[in-house]
Amino acid sequence: MKKLQIAVVGVGHIGSQHAKHASNLGTLVAVCDIKKDRAKSIAEHYQCKAYFSLDELLTDEKNLDLIAICTPNGLHAEHSIKALKTGCNVLCEKPMATTVRDCERMIHTAEETNRRLFIVKQNRFNPPVKAVKKMIDEGKLGKILSVQVNCFWNRNREYYLGSDWRGKLAMDGGTLFTQYSHFIDLLYWFVGDVEEVEAFTENYLHKGVVEFEDTGVVVLRFTNGALGTIHFTINSFGKNMEGSITLFGEKGTVKVGGQYLNLLEYQSIDGYEITGLEPGNPPNVYGKNTGSMSNHDKVYENVIDVLVHGGSITTDLLDGLKTVQIIEKIYKAAKKG
């Protein structure tokens, strides 16, 4: 079977995970990072080439099948578009971009170049998340009436001070982009598009370190009539507390929780029970912090299935754009509020 020739651009915490899975499931040809020591270290570990600029990588490497973009959020659009224009397929980390306009530019470039653009949505592979999505699609919950999302994590000042881009509005985008875009994605995946938003945000404990909110409360009305709330904060004292979605339907109630949507915490469904869930992967680790479940191996398996075997893509580009569109609506409502 053909092995994809892959390069990873940006090899920080999440980029190093990409390098591992690209090496295991394909051929890792090169890594790229403006921090030379970091690029050299990863390249030595995987016995591949190290580059220190994307332009140099794109000029020298002519036989790549896939480039993974793992740079700061604010660079996703620029770097993805550059890679697509050289004829490479692209796997872009979440969020797809930090504006809807940039998402649209990425989609148009993929169409113009006839290349595939994949967006990382690894929480869709969490065993309880997959089970709930299947149940919704089969109508087991009936009409979804309302949904509650809780995002209670800890991201202290040191987390931001140790980074040259986290907390900066232009490169980070906001808490909903960097920490919680997966939760917004699953809201859209489970319930559908959002029609109306009311929101309030504040920065309580990260003034002078973060250029946006550290806490927010959001009320949503979905296009299908369902109502929803999101309570998010990075001020959970000392450690992550909870990352959960609770769905209330005509025929049942179900909650996926734990720290990072890794546990089926509650179910009461008419004539149905979710059983036999496979164990999930551990979370991604960022120094002293943990994040979403580490399912990047499954992301790469899907990319390979699509590019090599003509399989079905797990996350289409509309899903990536919709996540950003909903976050934009929330931040616009918060400013108005």
Number of domains in the chain: 2
Residue 303: inside a domain: no
Q: How high is the pLDDT of residue 292?
A: 55
Query: Is pLDDT above 60 for 116?
Result: yes
Q: In terms of domains, do 128 and 264 share one?
A: yes
Q: How high is the pLDDT of residue 293?
A: 57
What DSSP character marks residue 278? P
Query: Is pLDDT above 70 for 283?
Result: no
Please choose, from the candidates 66, 169, 189, 75, the residue with its C-alpha nearest in 3D space to the C-alpha of residue 122: 189
**pLDDT over 90, % of the chain:** 92
Over the stretch 11-46, which tens digit does the pLDDT of each residue have? 999 999 999 999 999 999 999 999 999 999 999 999
Domain termination residue (choose one: 88, 119, 150): 119
Phi, psi at residue 114, to the nearest 5°?
55, 40
Q: What is the mean pLDDT of residues 81-95?
A: 97
Q: In terms of domains, do 157 and 192 share one?
A: yes
Q: How high is the pLDDT of residue 205?
A: 97
Residue 102: inside a domain: yes
Domain termination residue (choose one: 72, 100, 119): 119
Within a 13 Å sphere around the CA of 92, how many CA atoms are in the beta-carbon half? 35
Residue 176: inside a domain: yes
Over the stretch 290-334, which tens digit does the pLDDT of each residue have? 555 578 999 999 999 999 999 999 888 999 999 999 999 999 999
Q: How high is the pLDDT of residue 59?
A: 97
- The CA distance from 51 to 70, in Å, is 14
Q: In terms of domains, do 275 and 326 share one?
A: yes
Q: In terms of domains, do 179 and 280 share one?
A: yes
Q: Which domain CATH number covers 63? A: 3.40.50.720
Close Cβ partners of 129 (under 8 Å, ≥ 6 residues apart): 123, 186, 256, 261
Residue 318: inside a domain: yes
**pLDDT over 70, % of the chain:** 96
- The CA distance from 193 to 321, in Å, is 11
Q: How high is the pLDDT of residue 288?
A: 61
Between strands 215-222 and 194-202, the pairing is antiparallel
Q: In terms of domains, do 174 and 240 share one?
A: yes
Query: Is pLDDT above 90 for 280?
Result: no
With a threshold of 0.75, does the pTM exceed it?
yes
Domain termination residue (choose one: 69, 89, 119): 119
Query: Is pLDDT above 80 for 284?
Result: no
Q: In terms of domains, do 21 and 112 share one?
A: yes
Q: What is the mean pLDDT of residues 73-86?
A: 98
Over the stretch 241-276, which tens digit does the pLDDT of each residue have? 999 999 999 999 999 999 889 999 999 999 999 999
Q: How high is the pLDDT of residue 316?
A: 85
**pLDDT, mean over the chain:** 95
Query: Is pLDDT above 90 for 2?
Result: no
Residue 307: inside a domain: no
Higher-confidence position of 295 and 137: 137
Domain that holds residue 62: 5-119
Q: In terms of domains, do 157 and 269 share one?
A: yes
Q: In terms of domains, do 327 and 212 share one?
A: yes
Residue 301: inside a domain: no
Q: What is the mean pLDDT of residues 212-218?
A: 98
Sheet holding 227-233, edge to edge: 194-202, 215-222, 227-233, 144-152, 242-249, 252-257, 263-269
- Residue 263 one-letter amino acid: L
Residue 190: inside a domain: yes
Q: In terms of domains, do 55 and 141 share one?
A: no
Please choose, from the candidates 331, 110, 111, the residue with its C-alpha nearest in 3D space to the C-alpha of residue 212: 331
- The helix/strand count (H/E) of the chain reads as 12, 15
- The CA distance from 182 to 264, in Å, is 17
Sign of the torsion angle spanned by Cα atoms 13, 76, 30, 311:
positive
Q: In terms of domains, do 149 and 181 share one?
A: yes
Query: Is pLDDT above 70 for 224?
Result: yes
Over the stretch 157-180, which tens digit does the pLDDT of each residue have? 999 999 999 999 999 999 999 999
Q: In terms of domains, do 18 and 72 share one?
A: yes
Q: In terms of domains, do 214 and 318 share one?
A: yes
The answer to whether the beta carbons of residues 43 and 320 sit under 8 Å apart is: no
- The alpha carbons of the chain give a radius of gyration, in whole angstroms, of 20
